[in-house]
Amino acid sequence: MGTVCPSPLAVLVLLFICLEASVASSSGVPLYKNPSATVEARVQDLLQRMTLEEKVGQMMQIERSVANPSIIQKNFVGSIISGGGSVPKDRASPTDWMDMVDGFQKAALSTRLGIPLMYGIDAVHGHNNVYGATIFPHNIGLGCTRDPDLARRIGEATALEVRGTGIQYVFAPCIAVCRSPSWGRCYESYSEDPDLVRKMTQIIVGLQGKPSKAGVPFVAGQHNVAATAKHYVGDGGTYHGIDENNTLSSFKSLVNIHMVGYFDAIAKGVSTIMASYSSWNGKKMHGNRFLISHVLKKQLGFKGFVISDWQGIDRMLSPPNLNYTYSVETGVNAGLDMIMIPFDYVTFHDDMIALVKSGYISTQRVNDAVRRILRVKFSMGLFEHPFADRSLTGMVGAQEHRELAREAVRKSLVLLKNGKSKNDPILPLSKHASKILVAGSHANDIGRQCGGWTITWQGQAGNITPGTTVLDAIKSTVHSSTQVVYEESPDTSFAKGKGFDYAIVVVGEEPYAEMLGDNTNLTIPDGGIRTIQNVCSSVKCVVVLISGRPLIVEPYLPLMNAFVAAWLPGTEGKGITDVLFGDYQFEGKLSRTWFKSASQLPMTVGDKYYDPLFPFGFGLTAMAVEGNGATVFGSSLPLLSIFIYLVGQILL
């Protein structure tokens, strides 16, 4: 074989780095501590100073519940995570969070080289682990807004609230293309349509800031955070929507459907990408060297670091931890750079050291992983600003962020029915009614309104964080003379003959997240169905459905005077009353196909046999000026979708 010569450009870069190192050395300050030096020069300088143990430490991300200063110092830990519901204490304040994060950071900075750590947290619809934070609509609702600039502004607000707790790194956004609503994470997906998902990656610019150079990891400053595009790749296309299952597709389909969002995420300078639990054609993504190292890093030119999912290494074999050493070897050699362990850091550390010393994992692979991690840390200014900015505590739950969330709610609502005929619309509702009924399990419950990934991993019912319920919003919207009667579960006789002008019925799914949220029945819980039947058979009613996906509603539609899909709106219930009472128009259009029965699934727009209840892109608009009774019943539906919908109704 002939000698391989470096390109002239590579030689120039190397000479420039050496020149910088020489200047830094003469000043007595290590180059990596010089903020005026280039990122790549600082990375190279620090990397060559590190021992194997220090490098392995940078590749570890451990859970805050097992972390302490001694462990961080002894193992040179590079990153810490708060899992869902993992908090400093119950109802922790922003200052409590900052004190904890800064305490860990002080330990990291006291090590030989003083490499700061990154603290990561799920912030998938606002800073959702933190009591009192603004909770935005989940992504399925944001997809219905079709508003990339709104996504950007939500990213900016979320970044400020995250920084308001001293945290610098978020595991968001999820850019999965969910093809089956049976998947328990489907609400984390903006749409079944790859192009719509691609457009909503604008949230990355909000989280990180606008990059000066496309494709390079970038965080603009201390009001921004490092973002994570997840879960690479095909997580939304698993067989029958089963969580962590197998995506069966050609490479062309994988690229054209599930990889589209990653092209834009990388161009926007996303700092990290998280591997998916799922498999592609039987090959676990956490061990897929072709898709991680070749496609993502080489062909797409991703320069940030790839992080595993929670215990993703453990789950590469069945049962988990069947051969942990094999999983570490396979995952790291596939291209995983940072490992979300999160608990058994000792075993991972020891296995990594042994695998490198025995040659099963090369020094070059470790150096590549650490180089990528350090590149992100330098790019986000972590070495210059490792500690929390205490002036930002007021950003958590700030009023301007709640107003933004309220805007997002009203833009995400989709009006699917208004009136039992076009001549009999019920929306917008009158604020001057004499007596109204509010009913349903979700009318007065912040936890149900927010869904999963809120305060805890799976979420839970109850007033778990400050916010405005739908009932609260209704009471503050109607005239002071209007009598508002609330009944969570009315019986068949409750609404009869009581003089109600109309009823607002708010029902839906119980909170859930991955695994526990997988559901092939997709029906409204029985209590909700009974409430619809008991109320809507006696009085004119608007049904507001709180859910993370379309549910079977066809049998109950004839009972409803109006039907609104509100998805999982978050803490700001006034966004719902803004449109119900006509202060704003309905703007949302379905980001997902609304099926008639679960037997049709998976069914997505563009399928050969496409027979939905409401097609992708459907959304009515109700406009009125209250006081003169003038109401226009309209549609914002694209012409093709109108045609498909009308044909479907004729066939019915």
What is the rounded CA–CA span in Å between residue 285 and residue 99? 36
* Angle between helices 324-334 and 363-379 in degrees, nearest 10: 60
- 523 burial class (0-12, 13-18, 19+ CB within 10 angstroms)? middle
What is the Cα gyration radius of the chain?
Answer: 26
The pair of structure tokens assigned to 331 is 């995952």
- Alpha carbon distance 387, 524 (integer Å): 47
What span, in angstroms and rounded, lies between the C-alpha atoms of 325 and 348? 8
Report residue 492: phi and psi, to 5°. Answer: -65, -25
The candidate with the shortest Cα–Cα distance to 579, out of 401, 392, 414, 343, is 414
Contacts of 497 (CB under 8 A, 6+ apart): none
Write down the catalytic residue from 147, 156, 243, 514.
Answer: 514
Q: Which residues, at least 6 apart from 518, have a Cβ–Cβ distance to it below 8 Å? A: 182, 183, 184, 241, 242, 243
Can you tell me whether residue 255 is helix, strand or coil? helix
Partner residues linked to 614 by β-bridges? 594
Question: Angle at Cα 304 formed by Cα 259 and Cα 112, nearest 5°?
Answer: 155
Angstrom CA distances, 243 to 67, 237, 283, stand at 29, 10, 15
**Contact indicator for 311, 320 with CB cutoff of 8 Å:** yes
**Is 514 assigned a catalytic role?**
yes
Active-site pick, 20, 122, 235, 309: 309
- Distance CA(172)–CA(226), nearest Å, equals 9
Peptide bond into 612 cis (omega under 30): no
Amino acid symbol at 418: N
Alpha carbons 409 and 482: distance in angstroms, whole number = 25
Cis previous bond, 428, omega within 30: yes
Is 29 within 8 Å of 309 (Cβ atoms)? no
12: burial class by Cβ within 10 Å (0-12, 13-18, 19+)? exposed
Token look-up 């809507």 returns: 536
> Cα–Cα distance between 567 and 548 in angstroms, integer?
5
Q: Which residues pair with 631 in a beta bridge?
A: 624
Q: Which residues are marked as active site?
A: 309, 514
